[in-house]
């Protein structure tokens, strides 16, 4: 607590929790912080490129939604959204799953292994079905292992799932070495020739986007209108309350993580079968970590997550364009994303807490 | 025999950045802050040092070894301090979620490092072809023990490194003594175990959290600096630091939150990291060897939680934001 000592030993202000903030007020606070973040981003970009701010934002917009880019951008949003949806049930339960990256990767691996070993031996329809089964199973296994230990012995899940990511990465490297004797670090479409997802209406990615849309709706219903969803919220709010009203906490933890893993499995399946048709250890591209922030920013609400993942993807692709236009490093996008995240993370304070000024001196104004 | 000495020597070099990161993270975690931003802070520490060194090397005609060491060192400390303060401000003062903030710091930090590493020359319109601080690196790599040459291969293996290798050990030992044997160390641990009780006992929880996280962050930042100035001879390469930041967090678990243990475990992990260069295995199996540090960490994590030995547990309030009025 910020206790500035004044002579009377009365703190200048004290902080209290508030639960009654209106929806519109919360949105206004978020929008203001987002605008502030964009201003800072504009200034930073100006410093490094020397371009004028309007033109910078135009470049960012064209980078995301310029000609021929919109579909790819929407697909990127869909994949990020899918991973964000995956981590959400666990987070609502306050299970800090930092292993979505690994769960997606291991599903990518099992999808690719199906394509590699079974491609051409069974019909494409059966193959895609097998890919789906194996991808989802792999995701579930990778998620349930930490959940099992968390449920029974309270093993720290944040650290456990984090370590599982690197096990998954090395397993992929292992597969790459076996599958491609030439020693390159990617197994591409030339080796994974079967099991590609069909084009919907002759357009790439459309099937992926459709699947993610369906998952979004289903998860929204599951979290808000089902008994399971209710149990998840109760365990998240207070484990003791959950025990008291007769919820089997261990079962809920394992079941919810299995669901998380399964959705990660779908994300892995879509990435390999429906988009890249290749595999390397960087395929998840940090989405497992970005998803945590996307889900948290949306307050674990699947419909808001569409907006937050749009924001992140928009920025990443936009900043990519800025950096390529000015010959800067592509990592510029991460700096901008970081700045925006800091602002949004910080603004949550003003939504969840109230600063009460102690009215002893009149000349003190509320500082926000 | 020489091969073995060389292997150990390389393992020590490889383990030193991990040791800085792990010591820093242990101090941080003892205050109850699970700083997942450590990988980012190590990048920022590294690039801040590089930027400082770059200016010094380009501006001055003759490079004096003392200044060449001190300027990047101070820049590195400053950069990682600022980042740690940002983390503290968000998680302690604004009570934001630690995991989300940490990951955001890592995203930002890695991006920051790679961006300046890749674009610094372009931004400054400098006429040097690539980012290389060979002169500064030479100062960092100077042997502190002049007698090491006369001690044969084993003496060389231990005593021939630059000063930062030994600094890492000293910091880890001091941190261990501080946490275990001093009153502020006891206070710090109590903040990490149960901040409400510590608060009731009159310990300034906010101050301890800020101090521990900032000092921890600065120590971790030195790991990044060591990697660039000593291990890579002053040459920056994007993403060269790799996943060592996460490995440092793994070491914290592996050494069950004890700085003295982290010295040996860092070198062990360093050895595992480069083991494949020295043993005769087919290329195919190298990833499985590189998986070992993580797999071993998972086993330690499970074992400590199953055995429930009280002194081997993570700080009880690790990752939990403290708000005084919340009961």
ipTM of the complex: 0.85
Written as six digits, the tokens of B299 are 């086993």
Sign of CA dihedral B44, B47, B51, B57: positive
Asked whether residue B320 is assigned to any structural domain, the reply reads no
- Cβ B284–A177 below 8 Å, yes or no? yes
Asked whether residue B84 is assigned to any structural domain, the reply reads yes
Q: Mind listing the pLDDT tens digit for each residue in A21-55?
A: 777 888 888 888 888 888 888 888 888 777 777 77
- Cβ A170–B103 below 8 Å, yes or no? no
List A residues 339-358 in contact with B (Cβ-Cβ < 8 A).
339, 341-342, 345-346, 348-349, 352-353
> What CA–CA distance (Å, rounded) separates B322 from B128?
49
The shortest C-alpha distance from A125 to chain B (Å) reads 32
> What CA–CA distance (Å, rounded) separates B99 from B35?
7
CB A200 within 8 A of CB A207: yes
Written as six digits, the tokens of A105 are 């990767």
Is residue B303 less than 8 Å (CB to CB) from chain A?
no
- Per-residue confidence (pLDDT) for residue A62, from 0 to 100: 78
Asked whether residue B266 is assigned to any structural domain, the reply reads yes
- Cβ A164–B298 below 8 Å, yes or no? yes
Q: Which of A299, A346, A294 is nearest to A316 (CA)?
A: A294
Percentages of chain A per state (helix, strand, coil), in multiples of 5: 70, 5, 25
Taking each continuous run of H as one helix and of E as one strand, the counts in chain A are 13, 2
> What CA–CA distance (Å, rounded) separates A83 from A287?
7
- Per-residue confidence (pLDDT) for residue B207, from 0 to 100: 92
- Per-residue confidence (pLDDT) for residue B128, from 0 to 100: 66
**Which 3 state secondary structure label does DSSP give A17?**
strand
Among candidates A156, A174, A183 on the partner chain, residue whose Cβ is nearest the Cβ of B314: A156
Written as six digits, the tokens of A78 are 């869909």
- Per-residue confidence (pLDDT) for residue B182, from 0 to 100: 92
Q: Does the pLDDT value for residue B245 go beyond 80?
A: yes
List A residues 32-91 in contact with B (Cβ-Cβ < 8 A).
48
Query: Where residue B176 falls among pLDDT bands split at 50, 70, 90?
Result: very high
- Cβ B326–A17 below 8 Å, yes or no? yes
Crossing angle of helices A249-271/A100-118, nearest 10°? Answer: 50
Contacting residues of A for B90, CB less than 8 Å apart: 342, 345-346
Contacting residues of B for A159, CB less than 8 Å apart: 249-250, 253, 301, 314
| pTM of the predicted structure, to 2 decimals | 0.86
State chain B's mean pLDDT as an integer: 85
Asked whether residue B134 is assigned to any structural domain, the reply reads yes
* DSSP code for B240: T
Q: Which of B35, B36, B37, B48 is nearest to B115 (CA)?
A: B48
- State what percent of residues in chain B have pLDDT above 70: 93
Burial of A64 (0-12, 13-18, 19+ CB in 10 A): buried
Instruction: Quote the number of domains for chain B.
Output: 1
Q: Which of A302, A235, A225, A272 is nearest to A105 (CA)?
A: A272
- Per-residue confidence (pLDDT) for residue A5, from 0 to 100: 47
Instruction: Identify the residue whose tokens are 């390529």.
Output: A324
- Per-residue confidence (pLDDT) for residue A368, from 0 to 100: 44
> What CA–CA distance (Å, rounded) separates A345 from A30?
10
Is residue B305 less than 8 Å (CB to CB) from chain A?
yes
More confident residue, B22 or A329: B22
Among candidates B123, B206, B298 on the partner chain, residue whose Cβ is nearest the Cβ of A1: B206
Is residue B151 less than 8 Å (CB to CB) from chain A?
no
- Cβ B110–A334 below 8 Å, yes or no? yes
- Cβ A338–B34 below 8 Å, yes or no? no
Asked whether residue B218 is assigned to any structural domain, the reply reads yes
Q: Does the pLDDT value for residue B220 go beyond 70?
A: yes
Selected for mutation to probe chain A from B44, B96, B288 (highest A CB count within 10 Å) is B96
Pairing of strands A353-357, A13-17: antiparallel
Written as six digits, the tokens of A292 are 């945590």
> What CA–CA distance (Å, rounded) separates B6 from B58?
34
Q: Mind listing the pLDDT tens digit for each residue in B271-299?
A: 888 887 777 777 778 888 888 888 888 88
The shortest C-alpha distance from A224 to chain B (Å) reads 23
Q: Which residues of chain A have pLDDT under 50?
A: 1, 5-6, 362-368
**Which 3 state secondary structure label does DSSP give B1?**
coil
Q: Mind listing the pLDDT tens digit for each residue in B64-96?
A: 778 888 888 999 999 999 999 999 999 998 888
> What CA–CA distance (Å, rounded) separates B257 from B311?
10
Sequence-distant (≥ 6) Cβ neighbours of residue B31 within 8 angstroms? B188, B191, B192, B208, B209, B211, B212, B213, B315
More confident residue, A18 or B169: B169
Written as six digits, the tokens of A18 are 């508030």
Q: Does the pLDDT value for residue B210 go beyond 80?
A: yes
- State what percent of residues in chain B have pLDDT above 90: 31
Region B104-117: what's the mean pLDDT? 89
Region B199-223: what's the mean pLDDT? 92
Q: Which of A65, A64, A71 is nearest to A207 (CA)?
A: A71
Asked whether residue B318 is assigned to any structural domain, the reply reads no
Q: The domain that contains B222 carries what CATH number?
A: 1.10.3470
């Amino acid at each position: 607590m910020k206790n500035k000592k004044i002579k009377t030993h009365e703190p200048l202000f004290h902080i209290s929790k508030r639960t009654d903030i209106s929806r519109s007020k919360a949105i206004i606070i978020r929008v203001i912080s987002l605008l502030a973040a964009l201003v800072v981003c504009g200034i930073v970009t100006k410093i490094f490129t020397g371009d004028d701010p309007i033109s910078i934002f135009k470049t960012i917009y064209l980078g995301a939604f310029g000609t021929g880019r919109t579909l790819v951008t929407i697909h990127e949003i869909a994949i990020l959204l899918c991973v964000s949806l995956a981590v959400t049930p666990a987070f609502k339960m306050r299970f800090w799953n930092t292993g979505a990256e690994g769960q997606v990767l291991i599903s990518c691996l099992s999808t690719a292994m199906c394509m590699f070993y079974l491609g051409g031996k069974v019909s494409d329809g059966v193959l895609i079905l097998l890919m789906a089964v194996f991808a989802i199973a792999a995701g579930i296994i990778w998620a349930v292992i930490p959940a099992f230990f968390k449920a029974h012995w309270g093993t720290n899940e944040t650290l456990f799932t984090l370590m599982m990511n690197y096990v998954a990465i090395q397993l992929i490297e292992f597969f790459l070495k076996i599958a491609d004797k030439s020693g390159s670090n990617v197994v591409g479409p030339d080796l994974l020739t079967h099991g590609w997802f069909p084009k919907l209406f002759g357009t790439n990615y459309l099937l992926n986007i459709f699947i993610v849309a369906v998952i979004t709706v289903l998860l929204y219903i599951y979290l808000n209108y089902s008994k399971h969803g209710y149990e998840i919220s109760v365990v998240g709010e207070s484990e003791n309350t959950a025990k008291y009203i007769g919820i089997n906490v261990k079962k809920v933890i394992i079941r919810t993580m299995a669901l998380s893993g399964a959705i990660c499995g779908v994300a892995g399946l879509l990435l390999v079968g429906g988009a890249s048709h290749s595999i390397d250890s960087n395929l998840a591209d940090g989405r497992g970590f970005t998803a945590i922030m996307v889900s948290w920013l949306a307050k674990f609400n699947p419909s808001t997550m569409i907006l937050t993942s749009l924001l992140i993807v928009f920025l990443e692709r936009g900043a990519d364009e800025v950096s390529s236009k000015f010959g800067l490093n592509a990592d510029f996008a991460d700096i901008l994303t970081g700045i925006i995240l800091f602002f949004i993370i910080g603004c949550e304070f003003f939504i969840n807490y109230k600063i009460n000024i102690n009215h002893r001196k009149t000349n003190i104004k509320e500082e926000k | 025999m020489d091969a073995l000495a060389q292997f150990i020597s390389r393992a020590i070099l490889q383990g030193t950045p991990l040791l800085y990161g792990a010591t820093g993270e242990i101090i941080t975690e003892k205050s109850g802050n699970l700083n997942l931003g450590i990988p980012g802070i190590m990048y920022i520490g590294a690039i801040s040092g590089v930027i400082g060194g770059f200016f010094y090397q380009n501006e001055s005609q003759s490079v004096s070894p003392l200044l060449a060491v001190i300027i990047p060192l101070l820049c590195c400390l400053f950069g990682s301090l600022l980042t740690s303060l940002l983390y503290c401000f968000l998680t302690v003062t604004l009570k934001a979620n630690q995991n989300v903030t940490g990951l955001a710091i890592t995203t930002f930090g890695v991006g920051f490092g790679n961006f300046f590493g890749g674009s610094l020359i372009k931004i400054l319109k400098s006429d040097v072809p690539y980012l290389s601080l060979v002169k500064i690196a030479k100062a960092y790599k100077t042997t502190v023990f002049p007698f090491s040459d006369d001690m044969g291969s084993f003496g060389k293996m231990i005593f021939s490194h630059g000063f930062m290798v030994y600094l890492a050990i000293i910091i880890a030992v001091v941190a261990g003594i501080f946490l275990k044997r001093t009153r502020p160390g006891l206070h710090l641990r109590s903040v990490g175990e149960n901040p409400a009780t510590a608060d009731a006992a009159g310990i300034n929880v906010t101050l301890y959290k800020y101090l521990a996280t900032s000092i921890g962050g600065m120590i971790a930042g030195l790991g990044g600096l060591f990697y660039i100035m000593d291990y890579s001879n002053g040459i920056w390469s994007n993403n060269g630091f790799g996943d060592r930041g996460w490995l440092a967090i793994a070491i914290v678990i592996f050494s069950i939150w004890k700085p003295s243990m982290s010295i040996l475990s860092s070198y062990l992990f360093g050895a595992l990291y480069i083991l494949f260069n020295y043993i005769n295995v087919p290329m195919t199996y190298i990833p499985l060897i590189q998986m070992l540090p993580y797999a071993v960490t998972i086993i330690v994590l499970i074992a400590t939680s199953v055995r429930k030995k009280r002194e081997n547990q993570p700080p009880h309030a690790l990752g939990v934001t403290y708000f005084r009025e919340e009961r």
